[in-house]
Amino acid sequence: MITMKADPAVQRTLLTLAAVDKELTQLAHRRRTLPEIAQLVEAEVAVRTAKDKLVEVETSAGDLDRDIRRIERDVEGVRARTERDRTLLAGSGVGAKQATDLQHELETLQRRQSVLEDEQLEIMEQREAVGADVEHSQAALAAAEQAVTDLTQRRDTAFADIDAAEAGRVRDRAATVAGIPAEVVAVYEKRRAKGGAGAALLLARRCQACRLELDRSALGELRAAPADEIVHCTECGVILVRSTESGL
């Protein structure tokens, strides 16, 4: 590995850069894993389910309304026919044979009306129950849609918070990078591209990136390295920044 020199103060700035990058990583993670994202998917499924249910009960209500109108027409027809027969029967010039036929038909019409009225009552009851279902389904759909609205608002508020925090960290990062020589930043970025931190403090003989305690020979090399030399963790490769608390 080529030896890279950097003033100890510049090396410490790498820790600031690493802290900013850690925050940026956390913000990106927070954006991806916002609970509202998964909750919204569920809430949208609930809206679709509620819509389907509403269509179903509204269709039932429509079918029953059609049945009700049909029975009303039938009842009306039976009433008109009954009225006509009674008028004929009450009138003069009705022969005995015709009178018997009319009486017979009036009895049939009476039974027919009775059947129709029973049917009408039953369908009215069904329609009432379905009407209540329609109201429940409308309320359920409204609640589901409200949940989507609320969650969308909460998600967007969270996104806006993350955007603002990110913009702040991006500015901090630019300001920090401006104070570090480009070739040192390049070493830092190269390490970071492999995943994890680019730089970490050596604290009490432990690399603060991989949390491992360095062995005696590694510590000996670090102790021997000049303060302005950039050194790396023998365990994880991160740029190790030494301080008075490094335990060297």
Indicate the residue among 6 and 209 with the shorter CB distance to Zn ion.
209
- Kindly state the smallest distance separating residue 238's Cβ from Zn ion, in Å: 5
Angle at 209 between CA 204 and CA 215, to 5 degrees: 50
CA distances to 9, 25, 47, 80 from 20, rounded to whole Å, are 17, 9, 41, 89
Shortest Å, Cβ 207 to Zn ion: 3
**Nearer Cβ to Zn ion, position 144 or 236?**
236
Give the span between the Cα atoms of 172 and 21, in whole angstroms: 10
Q: Whose Cβ is closer to Zn ion: residue 18's or residue 151's?
A: 18
From the CB of 248, what's the least distance to Zn ion, in Å?
Answer: 15
Q: Which is nearer to Zn ion, 210 or 248 (CB)?
A: 210
Pair 197, 237: CB distance under 8 Å: no
- Kindly state the smallest distance separating residue 223's Cβ from Zn ion, in Å: 17
Q: Which spans of this chain sit near Zn ion (rule: CB under 5 A)?
A: 207, 209-210, 233, 235-236, 238
Closest CA to 27 of 187, 145, 173: 173
Q: Tell me which DSSP letter residue 91 carries.
A: S
